[in-house]
Amino acid sequence: MSRNFKIFFSLILIAALALTGCQRAEQTKEKDTLNLVATTTMLADLSKVIGGGHVTVNGLMGPGIDPHLYQASAGDVTLMQEADVVVYNGLHLEGKMGEIFESLTDRGSTVICIEEGLNEEDLLSWEGDSSTHDPHIWFDVSLWKDAAQLVADKLSEADSAHSTDYANNLKAYLTELDALDTYIKDKVSEVPQEQRVLITAHDAFNYFGRAYGFEVRGLQGISTDAEAGTADVSNLADFITERKIKAIFVESSVPPKTIEALQAAVKAKGFQVSIGGELYSDSLGGADSGAGTYILTVKSNIDTIVGALK
């Protein structure tokens, strides 16, 4: 073996070892953060806020996706199985994914179910069934504060080395949520009491109604699995005509055809009701919508509601 070849071979070996070292360093760097998968856009945002730089968040559902109807793909299941932490809402919001969460728990994965951080007495029943609850808890800011507390507690358990950071992130976020709650109440005060009636495509806003003093009606049920029938449309059209409701609202994650049918039914009864705008119900807005976070989405909703009804 020539001297030049030995030198060349040594250089190749050094380069290979350096590359391996870089790869190991990169792998170590990746493990400096928890790999977290969240089902909905709301929970992905919450996880990013509380986790900060210590989590890498992957959201299963993008903006405008309806979690009631979402079916996990094989890729989704693999993503959750490989995650350090999985966060989901519970209360049957992700109705077609229950068995997946059970299997993840059985595997010993860290699974955060927001339902477990809420007091049952704070939950609304699902269409009169006291054993089943309305899953749309994020429309009451006080319940979202409970959700934030749970995520912070569970992340601290999974990653105790950064528990102080999670606690500090939570404290700052709770302050922002208190300010959001005040913002909503100030905006609501602009709407006369008799006009505080919110009519939407499906029954997603009952927590909002309870927290902020609105009568709420949805054309479809709590889950978008339910179809609105002709009688549902006619009865709600009668209600709108009798109460002289100024506006009704479409939702970002529900096709507008049902609300448009309702508007036509009201017109057939001799009354004109406008479509007051689009509300974000089961999803946050997209990156370019100006409503890409929970706080921005809630502000967008209340601005739209008040603007149409006051």
Three-state DSSP class for residue 187? helix
When pLDDT is cut at 50, 70 and 90, the band that residue 7 belongs to is very low
When pLDDT is cut at 50, 70 and 90, the band that residue 9 belongs to is very low
The CB density around residue 282, as the number of other CB atoms within 10 Å, is 27
Given this model, what pLDDT does residue 221 score? 63
When pLDDT is cut at 50, 70 and 90, the band that residue 16 belongs to is very low
Least confident of 12-21, 64-73, 179-188, 233-242: 12-21
pLDDT digits (tens, 9 = 90+) for 240-291: 999 999 999 999 888 899 899 999 999 999 999 999 999 999 999 998 999 9
Whether the Cβ atoms of residue 258 and residue 281 lie closer than 8 Å to each other: no
pLDDT higher than threshold 80 for residue 12: no
Least confident of 17-31, 192-206, 236-250: 17-31
pLDDT higher than threshold 90 for residue 18: no
Cα–Cα distance between 217 and 206 in angstroms, integer?
Answer: 8
Given this model, what pLDDT does residue 180 score? 98
Cα–Cα distance between 162 and 21 in angstroms, integer?
Answer: 26
What predicted TM-score, i.e. pTM, was given to this entire model? 0.86
When pLDDT is cut at 50, 70 and 90, the band that residue 306 belongs to is very high
Domains of the chain: 30-181 (3.40.50.1980), 186-309 (3.40.50.1980)
Given this model, what pLDDT does residue 19 score? 45
pLDDT digits (tens, 9 = 90+) for 94-110: 989 999 999 999 988 89
The CB density around residue 71, as the number of other CB atoms within 10 Å, is 9
Joined tokens for residue 181 = 């709650």
> Per-residue pLDDT averaged across 172-191, rounded?
98
The CB density around residue 29, as the number of other CB atoms within 10 Å, is 9
Alpha helices by DSSP H, the chain: 3-30, 41-51, 74-81, 98-106, 141-158, 163-188, 206-212, 230-243, 257-268, 294-309
Given this model, what pLDDT does residue 30 score? 47
pLDDT higher than threshold 90 for residue 29: no
